[in-house]
Structure 1
């Protein structure tokens, strides 16, 4: 991710800071959005959401503007290792289903527990899975483990 710098927009005349609350929830029904707004939230985002959606909401509510550094071409040695389907297929179906569910639940702790169950001789597979979790690529894990 490129380095970000935030510049503050207009200051409040009375110099008090207003705390903005954006509800982040797994519930996507209109009633849930309305309930969040009624209890004092300023906005609402339902999972799954993109990083851009969150940054747009923050910019809107805080009056900030993001200044991004120039993108640097990715270093091929820094990119996460590829997971090969044959490695994944050697794992029990129940394990694959648990990995899929943990990825959908955004549970990195559960994913690390499941990665610990991969046989030690599959170091490349362990490293690839760990890299995906470390780099918040849970959507990629969910896609790879769809049964």
Structure 2
């Protein structure tokens, strides 16, 4: 008994594979309030949160609150694609590349991070780049990097 006070309704956002109209309709018919296609940019999720929870974000002014070396650190190999990097097939087995591709296709950050941890130390910049993609939900770019396993197999010949 809330004496005239209604409890807040829980908002449900479905996260569905990009371009899957069937999954979109299924999610909405199951009672989801809205959906996001995966992978999605961080600001798209924040926009949905703002829309449904009626919140407004306040952001710190850029660079004013950051230490002087912060910008240089952000521009490091950890967040940019390695300029010189071996192709996936040169540094890892075809089976590993296939597992990486399929883990990215499933948006499985846990499995991706396990696979990335197997990259040899001499390819640390590549591992950092892939970790950055996973941390930012850019599974599409991981898939692009790994290519489709069928395409990769053809490239060996």
Q: In which range does the TM-score fall when normalised by the shorter chain?
A: 0.5 to 0.7
Does the 8 Å CA contact 1:80/1:128 hold for their aligned counterparts?
Answer: no
**Which sections of structure 1, spanning at least 5 residues, go unmatched?**
1-12
Q: Aligned-pair RMSD on alpha carbons?
A: 3.1
Kindly indicate which of the two structures has a greater share of residues assigned to strand. Answer: 1
SS in 1 for 2:73: coil
Give the aligned partner of residue 16 of structure 1.
Answer: 7
Counterparts in 2 of 1:93 and 1:24: CA distance versus 1, 3 Å? same
Instruction: Provide the TM-score with structure 2 as the length reference.
Output: 0.63
After TM superposition, the structure 1 = structure 2 runs for residues 100-115 of structure 1, keeping only pairs within 5 Å, are 100-115=101-116
Secondary structure of 2:36 counterpart: strand
1:75 to 71, 74, 78: 71
1:120: Cα distance to partner?
Answer: 4.4
The answer to whether structure 1 residue 43 and structure 2 residue 34 are counterparts is: yes
The equivalent residue for 1:5 is none
The structure richer in helix per residue is: 2
Deviation at 1:32, TM superposition (A): 3.0
Whether contact under 8 Å (2:39, 2:138) holds in the other structure is no
Distance 1:37 1:141, change over 3 A: closer
Which residue in 2 is equivalent to 1:86? 86
User: TM-score, length-normalised on structure 1?
Assistant: 0.66
Match of 1:54 among 34, 45, 52: 45
Cα drift, residue 42 of structure 1: 1.3
- Shift in CA distance, 65/130, structure 1 to aligned 2, threshold 3 Å: closer
Unpaired segments of 5 or more residues in structure 2? 153-157
